[in-house]
Amino acid sequence: MAKATFEVPELTQYTEVPPITPGAMAHSAPFKSREEFQTPLGFPGELVEDWQARAIDKMGELLGKYRSLRVYMDACVKCGSCTDKCHYFLGTGDPKNMPVARQDLMRKVYRRYFTLSGKLFPKLVGAEDFTEEVLNDWYSYFHQCSQCRRCSVFCPYGIDTAEISMAAREIMDSIGVGQKYCNEIIGKVYKIGNNLGLPGPALEDTLEGLEEDVYDDTGVRVKYPIDQVGAEILLVTPSADFFAEPHVDGLIGYGKVFHEAGVSWTLSSYASEAANFGMFIGSYDNMRRLAQRIREAAIELKVKRIVFGECGHAWRVAYSFLNTLAGPWDFLDPRYPVPQHICEFTYELIQQGKLNLDKSENDDKVLTYHDSCNVARASRMGNTPGGQFEIPRAIIRATCNNFYDMDEDTIRDRTFCCGGGGGLLTDDLMELRVKGAKPRVDALNNVMQEKGVTHMATICAICKSQFTKVLPYYGLDMDQIVSLHQLVSNAIVLTPGPDDEDEDDDEPDPDDPNDEEETDEAA
């Protein structure tokens, strides 16, 4: 871990409202995107000359297209209920990180150009011209929102700051002010198929390595196939699952679950990314283009079902928008939901008694669970309300003997963001990421002290990457983070196939000349 160049907040038993520190995070802004990352996404390469007029036009277009945005601009009564609900405010004390203040950055421009009172009496109604100074504030503070939607849970009008920040980023992209991290990544998916830029052969190597590792560990041949035409299931998972811990342990677990279910499945080198950063930048066109790759892969591979791996915002895009973005899915098997989450898949098998699980394999751990924002507040799992909270917990309980939830005010629909969501998982925002993680880390630390928790499971690639990076800043261990399907992987008792039995069979087979030979040599 690099030495912090900023003050890391002290953990407290319960997260307290910090003293207000105006401008505390005014310096924080991610690197701007360059022309090479802008143009492939359909955006101007740099700030256009007539940026102000074009930005106002774009805002008008979005206000017409998304009626919710206009309602959010008009509905706030300044009740203050959201002010202390954002983890970035709680971690930094910067008043512009209060959700209502973040909204007001757009609201004042909206009032100036789209309301009569704002046009006639701007000062009276808090309306302001869209100046360069305002644009700089937009760039800084709309990239201090992880679009987690926690504030909207507490707003009596349901005003969703996440949508406002997406709209702001879309407006900025349209005038040539994009964020490097997100836009470069989207371009990589277009060119190579995934966020990490891992080409097909590298994926194949990794998967072959996983097959060998699992065989060495268990003596059972579990397949990790890629580009298998005619497989029943297409697994779409975040590319982080292909190579880094704790992500890859989840992928190992998915393969074991499919093995036990007896279904054929495949990954795709073309659609080797579940993440859809088009949502973070608020760009419907880019979100759609990314989602279309999954449709094309599903058709090409002639699969019957699509299952998503552990990725929070990918599940939001999949659950909430996939049909609109890339449907209709009438070529898939109608007996299954489109798409399905790997947790739904595993949970169903557990309910049907089809997985043999030895919980004691996880007895070296005491678990807690972090609800990822986009799963918790922007999607669902299963057929009952709240399934997105209960299904992951049910899987943990089925695979572990020791599980404790964190404080009620910090879980389920009130969960705190990891601090790295919404396209902010970049090292140029490390101070924001560390400070924004404080409320979650407070709650984690609390349950560690009170219940002896040693590990925190989660089902989001961004959360996993963020926590492994920021926990050491707070003196906690990065290895405390585990994939949910790592727990499944540890506990699952695999059924050997016919080949596996041959391998382990000590008795020579008189009908098998090779077996005879081996026995003779050994003798």
Residues that bind ligand SF4 (CB under 6 A): 76-82, 85-86, 88, 99-100, 102, 145-151, 155, 157, 159, 161-162, 165, 417
Nearer to ligand SF4, 193 or 421 (CB): 421
What are the angstrom distances between the C-alpha of 10 and each of 18, 60, 475? 11, 44, 10
94 vs 344 by CB, closer to ligand SF4: 94
- Least CB distance from residue 157 to ligand SF4, whole Å? 5
**Tokens coding 420:** 């790295």
Q: CA 114: distance to chain centroid?
A: 35
CB of 165 to ligand SF4, least distance (A): 6
What are residue 179's DSSP bridge partners?
Answer: 32
Q: How far is the CB of 28 from ligand SF4 (least distance, A)?
A: 13
Question: Please, which residues have CB within 8 angstroms of residue 130's CB and are 6 or more apart in sequence?
Answer: 52, 55, 56, 109, 112, 113
Tokens of 211: 């097959």
DSSP, collapsed to helix, strand or coil, labels residue 403 as strand
Tell me how far apart the alpha carbons of residues 239 and 34 are, in angstroms, rounded to a whole number: 24
Nearest to ligand SF4 of 203, 424 (CB atom):
424
**What tokens appear for 295 in the block?**
């449709």
Answer yes or no: are the C-beta atoms of 95 and 17 closer than 8 Å.
Answer: no
Number of residues assigned to the chain:
523
Produce one character per residue of 446-461: b if its CB has 16 or more CB atoms within 10 Å, e if not.
bbbeebebbbbbbbbb
- Name which of 55 and 106 has its Cβ closer to ligand SF4: 106
Instruction: Between 160 and 405, name the residue whose CB sits nearer to ligand SF4.
Output: 160
Residue 62 to residue 110: CA distance in whole angstroms: 11
Minimum distance from residue 372 beta carbon to ligand SF4 (Å): 13
Closer to ligand SF4 by CB, 85 or 247: give it. Answer: 85
Q: Toward ligand SF4, which CB reaches closer, 141 or 345?
A: 141
CB of residue 109 to ligand SF4, shortest distance in Å: 17
**Is the separation of the CB atoms in 288 and 282 below 8 Å?**
no
20, 93 Cβ separation under 8 angstroms: yes
> Smaller CB distance to ligand SF4: residue 82 or 357?
82
Kindly state the smallest distance separating residue 21's Cβ from ligand SF4, in Å: 17
Q: Is 114 or 157 the residue whose CB approaches ligand SF4 more closely?
A: 157
User: How far apart are CB 146 and ligand SF4 at their closest, in Å?
Assistant: 4
Least distance CB 479 / ligand SF4 (angstroms): 27
Look at residues 98, 106, 117 and name the one whose alpha carbon lies nearest to residue 20. 98
- The CB-of-434 to ligand SF4 minimum distance in angstroms stands at 15
| Cα–Cα distance for residue pair 352/356, rounded to 1 Å | 11
Structure token pair of residue 453: 């928790």
Burial class (CB in 10 A: 0-12, 13-18, 19+), 360: exposed
Name the minimum Å distance from CB 206 to ligand SF4: 33
DSSP 452-493: ---EEEES-HHHHHHHHHHGGGGT--GGGEEEHHHHHHHHB-
Rounded least distance, CB 496 to ligand SF4, Å: 47
User: How many Cβ atoms sit within 10 Å of the Cβ of residue 215?
Assistant: 14
> Please, what is the minimum distance in Å from the beta carbon of residue 468 to ligand SF4?
21
Per residue in 95-111, is it b (16+ CB within 10 Å) or e — as a string?
A: bbbbbbbbbbbbbbbbb
List the beta strands (DSSP E) in 343-398.
367-369
Residue 147 or 206: the one with the smaller Cβ distance to ligand SF4 is 147
Neighbour tally for 41: CB within 10 Å:
22
CB nearer to ligand SF4: give 146 or 388: 146
Question: For residues 76 and 478, which CB has a smaller minimum distance to ligand SF4 in the complex?
Answer: 76
Report which secondary-structure segment, H or E, holds 234.
strand 233-236
User: Which contacts (CB < 8 Å, 24+ apart) does range 384-388 have?
Assistant: 386/412, 387/344
